[in-house]
Structure 1
Amino acid sequence: MDQTPRTHPLPPFTEALVLPPLPGDATDLPMAVVDVETWRPAAMRTWGYLVLLEDAVTARILGCLEAGGIFWPCSAPLDTRPSGEPLARGLMYSGRDDGEVEARVGDAVETAALWGPCPGGGQRLHDAAHGIDLGPYGAPDAHLDFRAVTVAGALLAWRLQTEAEAETRNPAEPEAAPADRKVLDVLLEKPLPDAVDEIVEAGREGGVAARYAARSLEAAGASDLRSAVAATGADVVRLASTHLWWMRFPPGADPAHRDTLLSVEAALNRIQLVLDGEAPAHDRACDEAGFGALRAWALQAADVLDGHTRPNPMATFHGVEFARGGEWDVRSRMARACERLRLPFRLEYRYDVDLPSGCVSVEFALPKAQWFPAERMGDGGLEDCRALQGTFVALYGLRLSALLAACAFGSSVAVTRCLVCAFDGGLGGEAVMGCDFDRLGFSRTGIEALEDDASRPVDDPAALARSLGAKATMELSDGTLRPVEPLRVPGLGRNRGDLWRDRRPLSEPLSSLVMAETGADLDVYHDDFPAELEEVRSICSEEAETPVMAIMRLEELCDRILGALEDRGGLEGRSPLWSNSSPVRMLMAHAPAGGTRQTGAEGARDPLGITGDHDPQPGRPSRFYQLPDAFFEAKDAISRRYSDLGDFAQAMAVADQCVALAPTSVPPRMRRAVLLGDHGDFTQAEAELKVLLTMLVDTDDTGFCLYRLAFAYWQQGKPDLAAAAYVLAARCPRFADQARLELSDLLREESVEEPSMKQAAAALDADGAELPLDETLLDTLGEAGGRLVDEGFPIAAWRPLKLLADRDNNDDLHSIAHSLRDGTPSAYL
C-alpha cells in the first residue's frame, strides 16, 4: 500500500466501535471504526475511519469509509474525496439482497468475498478469496447490515493487500488474466477519444476479443467520437452497481453528438458483456456472444420477479419506517430493481403505481436501430445485417417490456397487471409498442419464454410476443416500428390533478410535519395574479427615475391584491405566507424566529404587528395561505426604492416585513443581508447570512450564501474567514468561477493562505457558521416526501425527493422522483 498508517490523537470522548479481528490477523492492535467530526471531508459523506487503536487517545488511520459502501485507504484524515480506485467496495447484485466485496490487490481488482442473507435477517460474508477464515463476519448469525458488510470488506481488503505486500521477497507468480479481458481498462486511464482509438488500434494485432472490440467500436461510429467529446465534454465511467459503462454529457447536447455517444456506449457495454462471459475461442464465437448479450440479460426477470420476498433497503427512509405493501414500498422496490438491471443499452424510463387497481404502468425509450450491430459473422466472414436492425429493436423492446413487467410484479404481490409502452426516439417520442401483462399469465409462461429465447433465440417479434403471454400492440413494417395507439387504463393518474385544486386532507403525522391541512395548502406555484406580476415589473421600469411615484403605485397594487384575496374568502384563521419553493414550504415547522403571527389580510398588511419566536407555543401559526408572487415582488421592490432614496430605516422595515412573510425562503433574508451590506453594516449582514445558512437545503443557495458571507468577512477585516468561505462557495458549480476569482484577489491583497476544504469548514464552524447542514431539515423533507407518496400525493412529493436525490447523487431516488413528477401519460384516459 502506498500509505503507511500514522498515529493521530483522538479528541476527548471519541467513541470507538471496536471490531472483532479476522482470524489470523498479524496485528496485535485492536481495529475500530471512529467518527471524528474534524476528520470528515467537506464534500463527502462518510461512515467514519477504520483505525488501529494504539491506546485510548491515539490511533493509526487505515482508511476512510465513504457512505455507500466504499473504503479509501489513507494515513491521515481526508480533505476531499480521493480520485482513482478505492481499496474496497461493497456491491449489491441486481435487485437482490446479496452481492460481493470487491478489493484492489496490487494493480488488480478481485472479488474478496461474497455476501448474502442470514437466517432471521441481515447479511453475512462467505466464500472469501484465498480461503481466508471470515470468523464472526461469516457466521450464520452475523446479521450484518450493509454498513457492517462494508466494514468487514475493508478489513478483508486490508488483509489481502497486506499479505500481497509481504510476499515481495519471494512473490508467487500469479496466473495472468488474458490480455483480451483487459481490453477496456484503458477507458479508466486515458481521455475517452484516446482510449477508444487505442482499443481500435489494439484490435489490429490483438486476440479474439480485442478484434471484436475494435470491430464493434468502428461500426458504432468511433471515428466521430472525438468531435462529439470535444463539443460536449463527455466522459465515461463504470457504474459500481452493474460494472457497465455510462457516458456522461450535458442533457442539451446536439442530437447528432448524443447519438454518437450513445452508440459508442452501447458498443462498449456489448463488449463488456462478452468479456464477462466465457472466453470465446474464435471470431465467430465472439460475435455470437455479442448477439447473445442482446437477449441473455432478460434472464434477470426470474430474479426480480421474487423481489417482494426480500427486505426493502429503502423501507426505512430518513428515520421513518414505511409500511410494507404501501405505495412508498412498491415505488422504491420498483426503482431499485430497474436501476440495477444489467442491460446492453441505457434505460430511460418512468413508471406509475395505482395500488387500488393493482396496476403498474411503465414507459421506456427504445434504443435506435443504428445502435445495434450492423454486421454478423457468418460462414463466409462478415455479413451485412442492417436490414435486420429494425427487427432487433422490436425483439429488444419485447424482452425489455417483459423484464420491466417482472420488476413491477416483483415490487408487490398486490400488483396484478402491468402496462408497458415503448417510445421511439426518447420518452417524448411516438409510442410504437404496447404490452399488457397479467401477473398469473406472466408467471406461468413469461419467464419460461424468456429462458427459451435465451437458449434458442426467437427471430420473429410476433412469435416472441405470443410466447410471453402479453397482449402486444405493434406494427413492424419495412424494418421499422410504426406508431400505435397506447394502451390505457381507467383510474391510472387519478391523483395527478393540479395540486392547488386538491382538497384531500392530509392525515397525521404528515399534516403537523408540513403544517398543512390539504394537498392544496402545499402548492406554491399556482398564480392567480399573473397580470399583477407583470404590472409590478412595468411600474419598476416606468418609474425607474421616480422612486417615490414607484412606491405609491406599488403600495396601491398591494392593497388591490389583498382586497381581491379578501373578496374570495378563506383567509380567516390563516397566516400569510410566501414560499419560493415547495421544499421550503414543507420546512415551516423549522422556521427561525420573526415570522408573523397575524392572520387574514391584516397579517399581510402588517406582518410585524405581532412577532413570534421559533419554539412552538399557543398562538404559533399552523395554518397558512400562499401570498401571490406579485404581492411579494411588489414589497421587495418597495424596499429597493426606499434604499434608492437613501431611506435605510424604511427600506429595512419593509425588508423585515418580507422576512416575516417568508421565514423559510432564501430571497428575503438574502435581500436583507445585501441591504445591510450596502449600508455598510457587514456585522449584521454576517449575522443574517449565518441564520440563513441554518435553513438552506439547496446546494446553489448554500453556494451563494457562502459567497456573500465571504464578502462580509472580507469587509470586516477577517481575511482568514473570507478565504474559508470562498473555498467552500467554490464547491458549487454555479458560483465556482466568481468565488475563485475573488479568492485570488483576496490572497493577493491580504497575507493569508488558501485553506483546504477541511480547514475552511472547521474555520467557519468555529465562527458559528453552521456547516454541514442540519440533517433534521433533510429528515423532514425525506419523511414528508415518503408520507406524501404513501397518501397518494405524487405532485407534492416529487420536489423534496428530487432535492434529496440531487444532494446524495442517489439514482434510486432520482427514479422515484422523476416518475412521481412525470407519471406515464400514455396510460391515462
Structure 2
Amino acid sequence: MGVQVPNSLDVNVQMLRAVLKQPLPDVIDMIIYRGTTNNAEQATPFERFAAQLLVEAGAQRIRDIAAENDLEVIRLSTSTRFWIRCNGGELTEEQRDVLQMVESALNRIDYADDEAHEALAEGMPVSQIDERYYLAKSQQFLRNVSGEIRDIDELQEGENEFRTICGVEAARGGNWDIGTRFANVCEGLELPFRLAYRFDVDARTGVMVVRYGIPKPSVMPVAPQYRDGFVSAYAVRLAGLLAWGAFSSSVRLTQVDLTGCAGDADGVPVISMGFDRVPFMMGALPAMKKGDCDAVPLDVDPLSLLNILKPVRYSGHFDANRALTPIEPLVMPAVFLENRTPVWQDRRELPESLRGLLRADRACELDVMHEEDAPISAADVDAIVEENKNSPMVAELQLETALTQLGEAGEAKPGPNGEKPLYCNRPASRMMVSLLDGNERTRYWKVPDAVVDVHRNLGELALDNGDFERAERESRTCVDLGPTCMQHREGLSQVYGRNGDFGKTADTLVEALKLAVTPVDCEVLYYRLGYALWRIGRLPEALACYAMMVDGGTPFRHSAKDEAYELSQQMGLTSPDMTPAEAHAALRAGNVPVAPSDTVLNVLARAAVGLADAGFPLLAYDAAWVLGMRGGGDVVASMSASLRYGVERKDAD
C-alpha cells in the first residue's frame, strides 16, 4: 500500500493476513461469527462489512468444497490480490461459482481496506470510515475504470522487462514485445473477478484480437433483477480497459478487436467490439480517464457505455433484461488464419536468422506432434504390449514384426539428402537440436513415434528378462533417435543401475542434465543421480542432487527426503538441508551440471522469441511455456497459452 498503517486499522491487516495463514473455511467462519453474531456490536465496522460480503457470497459453503479438495489462498505477485487455488478433483459448476464469488468478495474487502488506509493517510478522520464507507468502496471496485486506466499507464511505463529473456532481446515493437506487454497489463489489473483471456497479435499489420471471459450473472454481487444488466455493463467496461491495455503496448497497433465470452475465454461469444487507434485515443480514452464510465447509473446501462466508448466495429445484442445473447464474433483478420496453419501443413519458409539455429528451412520441418499415416501407430504398439502383458515372448515377437512393417521408417536411416532421423517428444525438444552434434547445415527427418516406442518396449522386455546387453542396445537406440528426450536417457541409466553399474548410471544422468530443462525432467534426473552418486561414494554431490528436487512435483519427493536424511547421517551431518547456492557449489565442484543450464535456456529463448516475432506462434509456444516455468512467471505463461491457442483455441496440430 505504500503508506504507514494506522493503529486503528491494525485489525483489518491482521484479519487479511489470517486468510493466507489459516484454513480458508475456518477464517471465513470466524469472520462471519465476529461480524454477525450477538457480539457484532463489539466488532469493528470493517469486520461487520467483511462478514456481510462473505455471507452474501455464500462463503459458508466453502467448508464442504475444502473437505473434498485442496484449497489454498495466495496473493498474486502481479496484482497483489487474492487468488484461490484448488488442487483436487473435478468441481461442479455450482462449486466453481462459490469459489469465484468468495474470491471476489475477498478482493472487494481487500480493495476497501486499501482505500481506507489511503484515506487515513490523506487526513480523513477515522470516525468517517464506517461500514457504509467500506460498502461504497467495495461497490466502486466493480466500476473503477478510471482507476484501472491509471494503473495501466503505470504498468506500461518504462522498458518492458519481458522483452529480454534468458539473455535474448526481442525486437522492440515485435510480437513478443507487444504480447508480453499486454499480458503484463492483464496480469497486473486489479479486477473484482479473475480475468481469463487470450490474444493474437501481428505487429506487421498492427492488429491485435482478444478474447476475454465475462462473469456469469449468478456470481454478480447485486440484486437478482439487476444482474443481467450489471454483467453486460461490466463486459463493456472491461473491453475498454483491455483495448487501452493493447493500444498502450505499442504505437504499432492500430486495430484491436475484442470478444467477450460467457464464463471464460472459451465460453460462448456474447459481445464483440472493434476499436481503431485514432478514434479510440480521441474519444474513448479521455472519457475513461475522466471517469465517465464510472458513474453508478451506468452499472446496468451497457448501451450508454457503448455510446461512450464508440467502437467502430460491433456485434452484440441485449435482450429485454439487458442480458447479453450469443453472437457471431467479428471476422477474424486473415493474417491470423495464415499464421495458424497446422505445423505439419505449414510450408512457409523460416527466417534466415533461425534456419541454422533450428536446422530447418520450412515450418513443417519442425513438426513433432502430427502422427503421419503409417502401417503401425503408437497406439498399435501400446495395444501389442497391453494385450500380451502376460506373454512377454509373444509381445517381443509382435513388436519386432511391427518394426519390420514400418519399413524404411523403422530402419531409421539417413534421408536421401543426408537428413538425420530424429524423434522429439515435445516441440521444445525440437528447438534444442543446435546443442547436438552437427552444424547449421544439418537437417532432420521425423521418426514416427511408433518406431521409438517399439525400441523402448523391446528394451523394457529385455531388462525384465535379465538380458542387459539387449536392454542397453535398445535403450541406446532410443537415445540416439531422441537425444533431447530425457525419458530415454533416464531409461538407459536404469538399465545400468539394474546391472549394478552405477558409474555408467551416473555418467548417463550427467549427460542428460546438460540438456534437461523442464522441472519434472530435472527432478527425476537429480533423484536418480543422487542415488547413483551415493552408491559410488560421491556423497557431497549426491546430497546436493537431493537438494535440487524443489519444483518438479514428482512422486519421488518423499523418497528423496528420506534418502537425503539417511545420507546426511552417514556423512555425520546434523541435517540434510542445503541452500540452493550450497547445492550448486557442490555440484559444480563435482562436475555435475546445474540444470537447466543458461545455454539451454538461451537456445529456447532464441527460438521462442524469434518464431513469435516471425509470425509462427504454433512453433513458439512450447519453448515459451518452458521459459514461463523457468522464471518467466505468469506473464510468459500467458504469452505461451496465447501463442498455442490464439483466440479460437486451435491447437498446434
Task: Tell me which interval the TM-score lies in, with the shorter structure as reference length.
Answer: 0.7 to 0.9
1:679 alignment partner AA: N
Alpha-carbon distance in 2 for matches of 1:487, 1:251: 37
2:557 alignment partner AA: A
Residues 270 and 293 in structure 1, CA contact (< 8 A), matched pair in contact too = yes
CA pair 202-548 structure 1, distance change in 2 beyond 3 A: closer
Shift of 1:571: 4.5
Alpha-carbon distance in 2 for matches of 1:186, 1:643: 54
Residues 487 and 827 in structure 1, CA contact (< 8 A), matched pair in contact too = no
1:501 aligned partner? 345
2:52 aligned partner? 215
1:44 aligned partner? none
The structure in which a higher percent of residues are strand is 1
Residues 639 and 652 in structure 1, CA contact (< 8 A), matched pair in contact too = yes
1:422 aligned partner? 260
2:27 alignment partner AA: A
2:74 alignment partner AA: V
Superposed CA deviations along residues 368-392 of structure 1, whole A, max 9, x for unmatched, are 3233324xxxxxxxxxx22112211
1:193 aligned partner? 25
2:503 aligned partner? 683
Alpha-carbon distance in 2 for matches of 1:747, 1:330: 49
1:777 alignment partner AA: V
The higher-RCO structure (CA 8 Å, 6+ apart) is: 2
Residues 547 and 642 in structure 1, CA contact (< 8 A), matched pair in contact too = no
2:293 alignment partner AA: D
1:637 aligned partner? 457
The structure in which a higher percent of residues are helix is 2
Shift of 1:503: 1.6
Describe the SS at the equivalent of 2:84.
Answer: strand
Deviates more, 1:509-518 or 1:746-755: 746-755
1:510 alignment partner AA: L
Deviates more, 1:630-639 or 1:816-825: 630-639
Superposed CA deviations along residues 369-421 of structure 1, whole A, max 9, x for unmatched, are 233324xxxxxxxxxx2211221111111100111011111122222222211
Deviates more, 1:269-278 or 1:537-546: 537-546
Shift of 1:650: 3.4
Residue number among 452, 456, 460 corresponding to 2:301 in the alignment: 460
Structure 1 unaligned regions, length at least 5 = 1-101, 103-109, 113-173, 375-384, 592-613
1:473 aligned partner? 316
Q: Are 2:225 and 1:367 aligned?
A: no
1:739 aligned partner? 560
Residue number among 207, 212, 236 corresponding to 1:398 in the alignment: 236
CA pair 310-827 structure 1, distance change in 2 beyond 3 A: farther
Residue number among 783, 792, 796 corresponding to 2:615 in the alignment: 792
Shift of 1:282: 4.2
Q: Aligned pairs, how many?
A: 624
Superposed CA deviations along residues 72-107 of structure 1, whole A, max 9, x for unmatched, are xxxxxxxxxxxxxxxxxxxxxxxxxxxxxx8xxxxx
Alpha-carbon distance in 2 for matches of 1:657, 1:826: 37
Residues 69 and 88 in structure 2, CA contact (< 8 A), matched pair in contact too = no
Shift of 1:544: 5.4
Q: Are 2:102 and 1:264 aligned?
A: yes
Alpha-carbon distance in 1 for matches of 2:455, 2:111: 61
Q: Are 2:135 and 1:287 aligned?
A: yes
1:218 alignment partner AA: V
CA pair 285-795 structure 1, distance change in 2 beyond 3 A: same
Residues 474 and 484 in structure 1, CA contact (< 8 A), matched pair in contact too = yes
2:430 aligned partner? 585
Describe the SS at the equivalent of 1:254.
Answer: coil
2:640 aligned partner? 817
Shift of 1:190: 3.1
Shift of 1:501: 1.3
Alpha-carbon distance in 2 for matches of 1:186, 1:645: 57
CA pair 338-756 structure 1, distance change in 2 beyond 3 A: same
Shift of 1:624: 0.3
1:595 aligned partner? none
Q: Are 2:522 and 1:702 aligned?
A: yes
Structure 2 unaligned regions, length at least 5 = 121-127
Residue number among 768, 771, 775 corresponding to 2:594 in the alignment: 771
Shift of 1:548: 6.0
Residue number among 182, 186, 193 corresponding to 1:334 in the alignment: 182
Residues 235-384 of structure 1 correspond to what in structure 2 (within 5 A)? Answer: 235-250=72-87, 253-255=90-92, 256-277=94-115, 278=119, 281-301=129-149, 304=152, 310-374=158-222
Alpha-carbon distance in 2 for matches of 1:716, 1:349: 51
Describe the SS at the equivalent of 1:246.
Answer: strand
Describe the SS at the equivalent of 1:418.
Answer: strand
Describe the SS at the equivalent of 1:489.
Answer: coil
Shift of 1:803: 1.1
Residue number among 281, 284, 301 corresponding to 1:443 in the alignment: 281
Alpha-carbon distance in 2 for matches of 1:790, 1:530: 38
Identity %: 32
Residues 107 and 192 in structure 2, CA contact (< 8 A), matched pair in contact too = yes
Shift of 1:180: 6.1
Shift of 1:530: 7.8
CA pair 207-439 structure 1, distance change in 2 beyond 3 A: same
2:125 aligned partner? none
Q: Are 2:505 and 1:667 aligned?
A: no
Shift of 1:672: 1.3
Residues 159-238 of structure 1 correspond to what in structure 2 (within 5 A)? Answer: 176-179=7-10, 181-182=12-13, 183-203=15-35, 204=40, 205-238=42-75
TM-score, with normalisation over the residues of structure 1?
0.69
2:123 aligned partner? none
Describe the SS at the equivalent of 2:43.
Answer: coil
Alpha-carbon distance in 1 for matches of 2:485, 2:345: 23
Shift of 1:187: 2.3
CA pair 761-464 structure 1, distance change in 2 beyond 3 A: same
Superposed CA deviations along residues 756-790 of structure 1, whole A, max 9, x for unmatched, are 13355544443332224311111111121000000
Alpha-carbon distance in 2 for matches of 1:441, 1:239: 34
Alpha-carbon distance in 2 for matches of 1:473, 1:541: 52
Residues 351 and 361 in structure 1, CA contact (< 8 A), matched pair in contact too = yes
Residues 575 and 621 in structure 1, CA contact (< 8 A), matched pair in contact too = no
Shift of 1:504: 1.3
CA pair 643-390 structure 1, distance change in 2 beyond 3 A: same
Describe the SS at the equivalent of 1:432.
Answer: strand
Alpha-carbon distance in 2 for matches of 1:645, 1:453: 73
Shift of 1:754: 4.3
Residue number among 345, 360, 363 corresponding to 1:519 in the alignment: 363
1:363 alignment partner AA: R
Alpha-carbon distance in 2 for matches of 1:624, 1:680: 36
Describe the SS at the equivalent of 2:339.
Answer: coil
2:371 alignment partner AA: D
1:388 alignment partner AA: Y
Residues 522 and 596 in structure 2, CA contact (< 8 A), matched pair in contact too = no
Alpha-carbon distance in 1 for matches of 2:576, 2:367: 42
CA pair 306-647 structure 1, distance change in 2 beyond 3 A: closer
1:432 aligned partner? 270
Residues 327 and 353 in structure 1, CA contact (< 8 A), matched pair in contact too = yes
1:803 aligned partner? 626
Alpha-carbon distance in 2 for matches of 1:580, 1:752: 41
**Larger radius of gyration between Structure 1 and Structure 2:** 1
Residues 786 and 797 in structure 1, CA contact (< 8 A), matched pair in contact too = yes
Across the aligned residues of Structure 1 and Structure 2, the Cα RMSD in angstroms comes to 3.2
Superposed CA deviations along residues 140-176 of structure 1, whole A, max 9, x for unmatched, are xxxxxxxxxxxxxxxxxxxxxxxxxxxxxxxxxx963
Describe the SS at the equivalent of 1:184.
Answer: helix
Residue number among 448, 459, 466 corresponding to 1:628 in the alignment: 448
Alpha-carbon distance in 2 for matches of 1:190, 1:544: 48
Superposed CA deviations along residues 505-551 of structure 1, whole A, max 9, x for unmatched, are 22233221222222112211111138432333344456657666655
1:120 aligned partner? none
CA pair 273-175 structure 1, distance change in 2 beyond 3 A: closer
Residues 228 and 260 in structure 1, CA contact (< 8 A), matched pair in contact too = no
CA pair 266-680 structure 1, distance change in 2 beyond 3 A: same
1:557 aligned partner? 402
